[in-house]
């Protein structure tokens, strides 16, 4: 099957691999077919076969040239799916340049056609962003006067804002075959304020919704961000530290479900209500999400989900606190929100002083240590291997070592390394085995230092204001829990058990007064 060769221009479903050639080559070898595995609740796998009319890679110069000629061969071209993630939606990015050149060729071949560009990444206002980038793009063959092309883009090309939601991994042993869950309620939501889409046809598809009223898509994003994404962020670091590799292992820890239920009830649901989402709608979304998370046959890598921890924390979890503090002067974040925060800081705490870089100018890579094994269950050879979970970052459940990055400069990790060493030093100095050094800080000094460090880290999160009583009290709660988590005396799950048992009292915060 030659790249981007069409037999029937009236039914041209074309797939272009934006970089690399592996998927395009495999699809071409299979005569334009590829498989998608859907794993059901009972563990059975239904394999769907998708057929396309042409396929190729834009990473190959000849294939790319053939791809750019397609608008002249597709007189009824109507939709361009743009399956590019946020990292590729940047000014001058190869995928943006390819899209712009393709649209220019559409303009030249069929200037009267209306074209919809539909992105499948959850970048907020993704359609608006892509349109802006297209209008700014320089490309080989760009006309000296692009006025007519710009007018075409404004009048005939619709860059729809979208939201997508379907957990996807890959078939074991074959990264070219997607492995996914059954269609969720909101698999794809498309904003169509100009009414150019056939809403009846689209809405008949499972999980597809068309939003024709301004502001509705933002509420869809809000529910997904504050429930589905927030729950993931609240649980994956705890699971990882407990030496659980995938999200579906949450089923082994009923305490985690109890924690998530309370976090939802006390912080997330009230924050959604003050932002226009009813309790009933929030509860339905939460119940559906937990049903998906607790799919015992399908889960995502906890370490992979846990990337970009502080960025995700701010937009997924603390955004609920920010909304409540702004609307309700009596609101105080719950201990469950404090625990979710402290767990993230524990995960971002290096356990060795050195770090490494993949290349000059690249972000630093730190090494952390998982909690100790709490039972005598043997860890078999299948889990003893080190695996690469993302961007050259590795983890090993058996040794308990994992690598992670902390933004571009690693400031949070470096600060947590220093303060955690003080906590460990004080913890050892209080034992008979490690007599207290004459230079060792007192426990109150250590706790005070932890409080300052945590407040410093949280102050970099959007919406956190240390002068606000609710935020200051919250920071003290987080610091007290973090100190317990890094003291070496309790695992994360043991600390959570204490929090669940004593959350109506202040027993879980034995050091809160000292860190305040």
Give tens-digit pLDDT for 198-245: 999 999 999 999 999 999 999 999 999 999 999 999 999 999 999 999
Percent of the chain with pLDDT over 70: 92
Q: What is the pLDDT of residue 430?
A: 53
Percent of the chain with pLDDT over 90: 82
Q: What is the pLDDT of residue 433?
A: 46
Alpha-carbon span 478 to 469, nearest angstrom? 14
- Whether 416 and 268 share a structural domain: yes
Mean pLDDT of 447-468: 96
pLDDT at 382 over 50: no
User: Looking at 216, 247, 270, which one is the last position of a domain?
Assistant: 216
Domain that holds residue 475: 217-515
Whole-number average pLDDT of the chain: 91
- Whether 152 and 282 share a structural domain: no
Domain annotation covers residue 148: yes
Alpha-carbon span 357 to 408, nearest angstrom? 11
Pairing of strands 79-82, 356-357: unpaired
Q: What is the pLDDT of residue 438?
A: 43
pLDDT for 277-327, tens place per residue? 999 999 999 999 999 999 999 999 999 999 999 999 999 999 999 999 999
Alpha-carbon span 293 to 18, nearest angstrom? 31
Best-predicted range by mean pLDDT (342-356, 375-389, 502-516): 342-356
Burial of 453 (0-12, 13-18, 19+ CB in 10 A): buried
Q: What is the pLDDT of residue 505?
A: 62
Mark out the alpha helices in 69-215 (DSSP H runs): 94-109, 126-136, 147-156, 199-203
For 407-427, letters b (16+ CB in 10 Å) and e give beebebbbbbbebbebbbbbb
Domain annotation covers residue 1: no
- Beta bridge partners, 47, equal 37
pLDDT at 387 over 80: yes
- Whether 211 and 350 share a structural domain: no
Domain annotation covers residue 14: yes
Mean pLDDT of 37-56: 96
- Whether 133 and 200 share a structural domain: yes
pLDDT band at 439 (very low <50, low <70, confident <90, very high): very low
- Whether 211 and 334 share a structural domain: no
195 vs 503: which has the higher pLDDT? 195
| Full DSSP string of 362-407 | PPEEEEEEPPPP-S-----HHHHS-EEEETTEEEETTTTEEEEE-T
For residue 351 the two structure tokens come to: 């356990």
Domain annotation covers residue 3: no
pLDDT band at 508 (very low <50, low <70, confident <90, very high): low
Mark out the alpha helices in 225-334 (DSSP H runs): 230-241, 254-263, 269-273, 279-293, 302-305, 309-312, 319-327
268 vs 5: which has the higher pLDDT? 268
Domain annotation covers residue 4: no
- Per-residue DSSP letter, 119: E
Burial of 490 (0-12, 13-18, 19+ CB in 10 A): middle
How big, in percent rounded to 5, are the helix, strand and coil portions of the chain?
45, 15, 35
pLDDT at 381 over 70: no
- Whether 187 and 229 share a structural domain: no
pLDDT for 396-433, tens place per residue? 999 999 999 998 789 999 999 999 998 987 766 554 44
Domain annotation covers residue 375: yes
Best-predicted range by mean pLDDT (187-191, 404-408, 421-425, 440-444): 187-191
pLDDT for 93-149, tens place per residue? 999 999 999 999 999 999 999 999 999 988 889 999 999 999 999 999 999 999 999
Q: What is the pLDDT of residue 267?
A: 98
Q: Tell me how many domains the chain contains.
A: 2
User: Looking at 216, 247, 281, which one is the last position of a domain?
Assistant: 216
Residue of 414, 389, 421 whose CA lies nearest to 403: 389
- Whether 262 and 407 share a structural domain: yes
User: Looking at 171, 189, 216, which one is the last position of a domain?
Assistant: 216
With vertex at residue 369, the alpha carbon angle to CA 262 and CA 362, rounded to the nearest 5 degrees, is 100
For 156-184, letters b (16+ CB in 10 Å) and e give bbbbbbbbbbbbebebeeeeebbbbbbeb
For residue 400 the two structure tokens come to: 């308990």
Q: What is the pLDDT of residue 391?
A: 81
- Whether 107 and 232 share a structural domain: no
Domain annotation covers residue 477: yes
pLDDT at 153 over 60: yes
Domain CATH for 209: 3.40.50.720
Residue of 178, 184, 180, 179 whose CA lies nearest to 208: 184
Q: What is the pLDDT of residue 374?
A: 59
Alpha-carbon span 158 to 79, nearest angstrom? 10
pLDDT for 329-360, tens place per residue? 999 999 999 999 999 999 999 998 888 887 77
H-run or E-run covering 250: none
With vertex at residue 198, the alpha carbon angle to CA 37 and CA 114, rounded to the nearest 5 degrees, is 100
- Whether 204 and 249 share a structural domain: no
With vertex at residue 461, the alpha carbon angle to CA 314 and CA 221, rounded to the nearest 5 degrees, is 25
Q: What is the pLDDT of residue 343?
A: 99
Domain annotation covers residue 2: no
- Whether 82 and 192 share a structural domain: yes
- Whether 164 and 275 share a structural domain: no
- Whether 450 and 360 share a structural domain: yes
Domain CATH for 364: 1.10.1040.10
- Per-residue DSSP letter, 515: H
């Amino acid at each position: 099957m030659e790249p981007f060769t069409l037999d029937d221009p009236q039914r041209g479903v074309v797939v272009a691999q934006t970089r690399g050639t592996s998927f395009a080559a495999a699809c071409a070898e299979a005569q334009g077919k590829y498989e998608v595995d859907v794993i059901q609740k009972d563990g059975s796998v239904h394999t769907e076969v998708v057929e396309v009319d042409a396929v190729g890679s834009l990473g190959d110069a000849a294939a790319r040239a053939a791809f750019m000629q397609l608008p002249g061969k597709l007189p009824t071209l109507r939709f361009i799916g743009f399956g590019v993630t946020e990292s590729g939606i940047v000014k001058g990015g190869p995928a943006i340049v390819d899209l712009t050149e393709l649209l220019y060729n559409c303009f030249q071949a069929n200037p009267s056609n209306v074209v919809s560009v539909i992105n499948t990444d959850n970048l907020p206002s993704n359609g608006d962003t892509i349109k802006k980038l297209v209008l700014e793009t320089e490309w080989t063959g760009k006309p000296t006067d692009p006025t007519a092309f710009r007018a075409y883009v404004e009048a005939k090309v619709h860059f729809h804002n979208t939201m997508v939601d379907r957990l996807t991994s890959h078939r074991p042993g074959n990264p070219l075959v997607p492995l996914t869950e059954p269609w969720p309620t909101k698999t794809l939501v498309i904003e169509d304020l100009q009414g150019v889409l056939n809403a009846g046809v689209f809405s008949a598809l499972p999980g597809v919704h068309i939003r024709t009223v301004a502001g509705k898509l933002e509420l869809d994003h809000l529910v997904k961000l504050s429930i589905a994404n927030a729950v993931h962020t609240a649980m994956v670091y705890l699971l990882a530290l407990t030496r659980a590799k995938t999200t579906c292992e949450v089923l082994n820890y009923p305490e985690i479900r109890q924690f998530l239920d309370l976090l939802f009830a006390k912080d997330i649901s009230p924050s959604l209500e003050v932002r226009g989402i009813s309790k009933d709608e929030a509860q339905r979304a939460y119940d559906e999400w937990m049903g998906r998370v607790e799919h015992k046959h399908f889960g995502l890598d906890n370490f992979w989900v846990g990337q970009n921890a502080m960025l995700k924390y701010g937009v997924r979890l603390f955004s609920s606190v920010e909304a409540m503090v702004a609307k309700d002067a009596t609101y105080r974040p719950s201990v469950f929100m404090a625990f979710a925060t402290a767990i993230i800081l524990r995960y971002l705490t290096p356990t060795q002083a050195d770090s490494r870089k993949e290349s000059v100018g690249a972000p630093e890579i730190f090494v952390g240590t998982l909690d100790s094994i709490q039972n005598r269950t043997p860890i078999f050879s299948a889990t003893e291997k080190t695996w690469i979970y993302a961007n050259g970052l590795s983890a090993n459940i058996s040794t308990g070592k994992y690598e992670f990055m902390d933004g571009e400069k690693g400031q949070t990790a470096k600060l947590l390394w220093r303060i955690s060493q003080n906590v460990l030093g004080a913890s050892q100095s209080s034992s008979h085995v490690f007599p207290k050094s004459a230079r060792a800080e007192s426990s109150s000094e250590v706790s005070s230092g932890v409080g300052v460090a945590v407040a410093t880290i949280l102050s970099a999160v959007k919406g956190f204001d240390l002068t606000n009583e609710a935020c200051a009290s919250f920071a003290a709660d987080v610091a007290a829990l973090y100190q317990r988590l890094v003291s070496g005396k309790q695992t994360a799950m043991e600390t959570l058990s204490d929090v669940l048992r004593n959350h109506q009292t202040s027993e879980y915060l034995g050091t809160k007064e000292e860190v305040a």
